[in-house]
Amino acid sequence: MSLVNFTSFDFDQLFAMGDDTNPLMMLVWILPIFFFVFYGQRIQLYVTSGEIKKGISKLDGFRNESRDELINYVKNNLKPVDDPVQKIDRFIDYFTIMPVDMDPNGIVDKVRHIVRSREDYTREHVRSISPQMSDIELTKVQTLLEIASSLQMIYKIINHMYLTAKKQNNYPLILPLQMILPFIMEQSEAMKEAIPVFKKGQPVGDGIGPMVVGKMMLKNQKETVAFQTVLVKSEFEGRKLFLLKAEGPGSTVGRPADGLEKIVSENKIDAIIMVDAALKMEGEDSAAVARGFGAAIGGIGTEKFEIEAIATSKNIPIFSIVVKQSVKEAITLMTKEIADKADDVRTQVYEMIQENTTQGQSIAIIGVGNTAGVPQ
Amino acid sequence: MFSKKKITLEYTVEKCSKCGMQRKRKFSQGDVLFAECSKCDSCDGMSFIEKVFGETLEQ
Ligand SMILES: [Zn+2]
């Protein structure tokens, strides 16, 4: 015996579906449909904008935090000549206008010119905050400034998109915002977490390339071959090696393309091997090592362009070894998994040399990435 | 709501250039890779900083 018989519910009766003669029931069913047809978008707008608002206030927190961290760092560590707050605030708001790309011919040179002059001028302005600052400290402050101004820019753009959508009650406008927000938040959180790492001068995940090549450089004569870029000439099994990396332990990526150009102009190079960090795909293992062809180098693309142009004009093959990692891993303190791969990658570089070149040939090996905490 | 607080512990690994002995210790300010740091515990070789890395723990 059972108290409730589960098998014989009358669904028609329960939802009054059979009862289509009752006008009141019809109203109960039809009204919400009209309501959602006319107000559905607006309801969705309210729900979504709540989420976005949370994200924006987080972004606001990040930009303020990064600004304060930068100001505190300058005040506490660098003995500025006068109060640096105003100056720093001005730097954070600096903008960069990319050149016109309607006629793409020569655009790489233009982009490089604009980006480099931005770097050069901010470097000089940062130096003016505290003239006796060491070059390593200078690269640190420059990186912190770069983070603070990126977070500021992100906050402004996202906030602008949100406020515009809200002002115009424009749901379609808020959709792309809702879609990109998770990616933006991931990047911004990573940037925020990168601040203490750069302050302490620790290596980041992106530093794996310089870490591998830097160790190969040890106990050799170093020379500066381009701005913030060092070269070491060494040998391996009858081959000449030209090792290239940004100058550590400052936080810089150097100018590997300029370095390579100098090497190629003075020597006959038979192969280029690049070691870099690469963004992993979702689902891929962190710190997985992969080999391939082509120039492994990130950034805005000017260095990559130049390296490819040099290689093409001299008909030099480019091989690459990359260590996969997430955005966050790339710019925050190097994880154990990535650090543990350094020896393996170095072995693979030597393997690559043996497999792809013969005795008497010359190979340029470039460790690409930020050299914070990674000298040579 | 359910996310645990994450903390990153910073470590430095020293490696003896002579006998290869490795020693893991807490990161201290100023540690950079490949820097000479101390006499090896088990031989008369010098140890160098081999790695600096972080390990993230969930609390
Ligand atoms: Zn020893």
* Residue-range domain boundaries for chain A: 43-200, 205-368
Q: Which of A200, A202, A375 faces B34 most closely, judged by CB atoms?
A: A375
Q: Nearest to residue B49, comparing CAs of A234, A375, A194, A346? A: A375
Q: How far is the CA of B22 from the centre of ligand 1 (A)?
A: 9
- Contact (CB<8Å) B29/A338: no
Which pLDDT tens digit goes with each residue over A187-237? 999 999 999 999 999 999 999 999 999 999 999 999 999 999 999 999 999
Domain A205-368 coded CATH 3.60.70.12: no
Structure tokens at A169: 């009650």
Contact A373 B27 (CB under 8 A): no
What pLDDT shows up at residue A4? 58
Q: For residue A240, what is the enclosing H or E element?
A: strand A239-246
B17 pLDDT tier (thresholds 50, 70, 90): confident
Averaged over A264-271, what is the pLDDT? 96
| Chain A CA closest to residue B11 | A336
The encoded tokens of residue A348 equal 């693979």
Distances A375 to A93, A94, A211, B26, B37 between C-alpha atoms, Å: 32, 30, 8, 20, 14
The answer to whether A99 and A107 have CB atoms below 8 angstroms apart is yes
**Using 50, 70 and 90 to split pLDDT, how confident is the model at A318?**
very high
Q: Average pLDDT of B20-36?
A: 91
Q: Is the pLDDT of residue A18 over 80?
A: no
Angle between helix A85-92 and A135-167 (nearest 10): 60
Does the CB of A349 have a partner CB in chain B at under 8 Å?
A: no
pLDDT digits (tens, 9 = 90+) for A53-108: 999 999 999 999 999 999 999 999 888 888 889 999 999 998 889 999 898 899 99
- β-partners of residue A362 are A240
- Quickly state the pLDDT bin for B58 (edges 50, 70, 90): confident
Minimum distance, in Å, between the CA of residue B29 and any CA atom of chain A: 6
Q: Specify the pLDDT at position A81.
A: 84
Does A84 reach chain B within 8 Å, measured CB to CB? no
Residue A321 β-bridge partners: A275, A291
Nearest to B54 among A201, A248, A335 (CB): A335
Query: Which of B31, B53, B55 is most worth mutating to test chain A (most A CB atoms within 10 A of its CB)?
Result: B53
Q: How far apart are CA A332 and CA B14, in angstroms?
A: 21
In terms of CA atoms, which chain A residue is nearest residue B56? A335
Structure token pair of residue A183? 């990616």
Say yes or no to pLDDT of A1 above 80: no
| Residue given tokens 């090896």 in the structure block | B40
Q: CA of A241, closest CA in chain B: separation in Å?
A: 20
Contact A335 B56 (CB under 8 A): yes
Ligand 1 centroid to Cα of residue B15, in Å, is: 8
Test A373 with B33 for CB contact under 8 angstroms.
Answer: yes
What confidence tens digit (pLDDT) does each residue in A113-161 have? Answer: 999 999 999 999 899 988 888 999 999 999 999 999 999 999 999 999 9
pLDDT of A2 strictly over 80 = no
Give me the sign of the Cα torsion angle A67, A69, A75, A80.
negative
- Which segments of A78-106 does DSSP mark as H helices, in order? 85-92
Q: Interface pTM (ipTM) of the complex?
A: 0.92
Domain boundaries, chain B: 7-57
With a CB-CB cutoff of 8 Å, which residues 1-59 of chain B face chain A?
Answer: 8, 10-11, 13, 27, 29-35, 51-56
Q: Residue A251 gets which letter from DSSP? A: S
Token digits of residue A297? 């180098």
Per-residue pLDDT, averaged over B15-39, amounts to 90
* CA atoms within 13 A of residue B55's CA, in its CB half-sphere: 11
CA distance A89 to chain B (A): 28
> Could you tell me the sign of the dihedral formed by the alpha carbons of A328, A334, A337, A341, in that order?
positive
Q: What is the pLDDT of residue A286?
A: 94
Tell me if A190 sits within 8 A of A331, measured CB to CB. Answer: yes
